[in-house]
Structure 1
């Protein structure tokens, strides 16, 4: 199987899925709070809009169970085709939705339904995209290959935020709210057709083919995951929560935080976010490559420590002016969090055997995502009560990071696993003293 085609298939679908998911996140504060919750007080409207954003996160564990089941039973490739259709179709339909002024309460109800479909689809996409890459990786290059689908996050976010920014520059405020915001959502249809064509030309991963040929297919993957791999599952959930809260802030809520509460313009806030994502595009594959030599765990812990130490300085610096916002977004998002994220897919997937790998990887990650996805609702309440306090927000982030740091000490160093299908329990026993 052509390795480059596999990586392109993994990356293309990931880019589109995250384009759709974060396009919604970017539009939440800028569009949806105004057009779909216009019958409410502005603060309540913003809170309700972010509740729909959080619903997408809450739906992701459901998608991980559904698509994880089929991914572990019928294959990675077929499952990933359906996740693309679900995400792209729902995003396209969001672009056609009537507003609150046109149909009343039906508008936010339809928005919530389509957001749920988005979340369910993404719940199955991320884990499958990671496995498509890592299960096809040459020996000694799993870290590099596993980092490639992670590029979908910055590329998708940049594409989503850039498309809205471009339309905003080309239209008046009235035109943007009337019809301009719809164009990036409708464009999802074109991207999905392209990604389906790319994925249609690849084969099933060798790891799943071997599993199928051996007849060792889990009857109910989620049940077997809880029965035999609970420890690994809870490791994934705990490890993701710490950086997950900061990630949601850095890639979504920062737009509202800086524009609504710190007085930045939309252009400056979006530019700073784009700078951070552009830096990630360089950082992620470099760190993925390095992880094949020094190990995923060392990089992961180092990233968590740096993020912990810079939590309060980050919020303090962005209060000082535009230049510091650019610097801190590039450092925290583009370098430190990117280093953590580059290793996550590979590290987490290495904790599960092939027969439940899709389910275990996806469910653990998406459970954590469901928890951190409601961060914007918490932060909206916090900022109303305490203002944009660097002590309050920095302390909140440090709390989550502490949980991940503690759990990271008990996760095995997976660098020296020679066979991806090898029993992780045997590896833990042989390497229990390694960092």
Structure 2
């Protein structure tokens, strides 16, 4: 029961954070280009709108430093409570913002500020949610536990895109643009209260508590992590770059690419995104479970190779008809990328010791996120100049994937070589066994 509570707490906040974050990504292509960044040239509106989308990614390393420091000094739980408030509060306020037609430049200015707050909060949320799960796991199930907070990405995006799809179907185009788009943002207030209630009932992780009790916390985690684990930070950045660019395209820019440059309707693009994310909900925990038996590294390499092979065929086939579009979205995002993402939290966290783990894990991951977050700006410029060129877009994706694949090959197999403290896991495992008399009896019999 204790494990269920911990996993639910790590997942609940992650769902809310990603619901809010991808809500903005969906609204960028559908709403903000018109209401907050109007221009006589639609391409310029899209470019400026995606610049603010990228700003949220750029702010994430700042959040990783702020909340990583807090998480390594004060505790994972305290840090995670604040990230929820920052993310949910900014999303709620976006739903109340006046438009450019009402207040002029003040509207996009406020939007960018709130987007930056979103990015800062998310920069601290991801790493904390992963550690809440993995540092509470018993030995042998860490990969599965680490995959559970990753479910927040597809669930949050499904909720976000579903809310937009539902509101869009219940309103006219004029009503949707006037007030309908605001409702999903305002709904964040309800979700955030629920997530805070769930997280308030959990305890600190065993590894952090041991470090704190023994006086082994790092005074300046960012200094210590760069002194002893600098190579691992750069390793994470490189490992994330390849699949990160593809992920941002498949989950955010695809709405603009499919509607503006290929000619699909908004409903078709949203449906393709929704079914691929729904597939991820099934894929992620299965792969997380398997990673405890065959290793994160093998799965990671297999996923990157699959993405390499499918990169150009994806861009060649999706303009042909919606069947190809739906199928390839499901395969690439729902299965292949989901397999990679399912292992990332555990894989990356196993590179760092507990006293700097929050900072190291978050900072490396969020630096990569900041880089790939500006992908939509690049793709908008390329599509405006060259159209939906499959070989141009596919080649760009392949370049990033090759870098990640090279680093993955030379990375340690963290299932066998890990910075997690085995004796802490054994203590935690013993506590669980004490809570379950049947297991104690079985252990005594075996002894």
Instruction: Give the shorter-chain TM-score range.
Output: over 0.9
Which aligned runs of 4 or more in structure 1 are off by greater than 4 angstroms?
none
Mapped to 2, the partners of 1:32 and 1:7 lie a distance apart of 35
Could you list the runs of 5+ residues in structure 2 that have no partner in the other structure?
Answer: 424-447
The whole-number CA distance in structure 1 between the counterparts of 2:368 and 2:194 is 31
> Could you tell me how far 1:419 is from its partner in structure 2?
6.9
Question: How far 1:38 moved relative to its partner?
Answer: 1.6
Distance apart, 1:421 and its partner CA: 2.6
Judge conservation of contact 1:353–1:422 (CA < 8 Å) in 2.
no
Rounded Cα–Cα distance in structure 1 between residues aligned with 2:421 and 2:138: 14
Q: CA deviation at 1:186?
A: 0.4
- 8 Å Cα contact 2:350-2:419 kept in structure 1: no
TM-score (norm 2): 0.93
The equivalences for 1:378-389 within 5 A come to 378-389=378-389
Which residue does 1:75 correspond to in 2? 75
| CA distance in structure 2 between the aligned counterparts of 1:39 and 1:94, rounded to whole angstroms | 21
Q: Is contact 1:296-1:414 (8 Å) kept?
A: yes
Deviation at 1:420, TM superposition (A): 1.3
Per-residue deviation, residues 149-196 of structure 1 (Å, max 9, x unmatched) = 000000000000110110000001010011000000000000000000
Query: Could you say which residue in structure 2 is the equivalent of 1:413?
Result: 413
Give CA-to-partner distance per residue, 1:199-218, whole Å, 9 cap, x none: 00000001100010111111
Q: C-alpha distance in 2, partners of 1:90/1:15?
A: 16
User: What displacement does 1:102 show?
Assistant: 0.3
CA distance in 2, matches of 1:283, 1:41: 41
Counterpart residue number, 1:19: 19
1:288 aligns with 288
Shift of 1:422: 6.4
Q: 1:34-433 to 2 correspondence within 5 Å?
A: 34-39=34-39, 41-417=41-417, 420-421=420-421
What CA deviation, in whole Å up to 9, does each residue of 1:378-399 have, x standing for no partner? 0000111111011000000000
Please give the TM-score of this superposition, normalised by the length of structure 1: 0.96
2 CA distance for matches of 1:214 and 1:83?
27
CA distance in 1, matches of 2:49, 2:422: 45
- Aligned-residue CA RMSD in angstroms? 1.1
SS in 2 for 1:310: helix
Structure 1: distance between partners of 2:413 and 2:98: 51
Tell me the alpha carbon deviations over residues 14-62 of structure 1, each in whole angstroms, 9 at most, x when there is no partner.
Answer: 0000000000000001000000012453211111000000000000000
Unpaired stretches in structure 1, ≥5 consecutive residues: 424-435
Contact 1:258 1:264 in 2 (8 A): yes
Aligned partner of residue 59 in structure 2, secondary structure: helix
Q: CA deviation at 1:227?
A: 1.0
Does the CA contact (< 8 Å) of 2:262 and 2:319 recur in 1? yes
Contact 1:68 1:358 in 2 (8 A): yes
Matched residue count: 423
Partners of 2:311 and 2:394 within 8 A in 1: yes
Contact 1:52/1:115 (<8 A) preserved:
yes
User: Deviation string for 1:237-285 (max 9, x for gaps)?
Assistant: 0000010000000000001001101110111111111111011000000
Asked whether the 8 Å contact 1:303–1:340 carries over to 2, the reply is yes
Taking the aligned partners of 1:56 and 1:189, their CA distance within structure 2 comes to 20
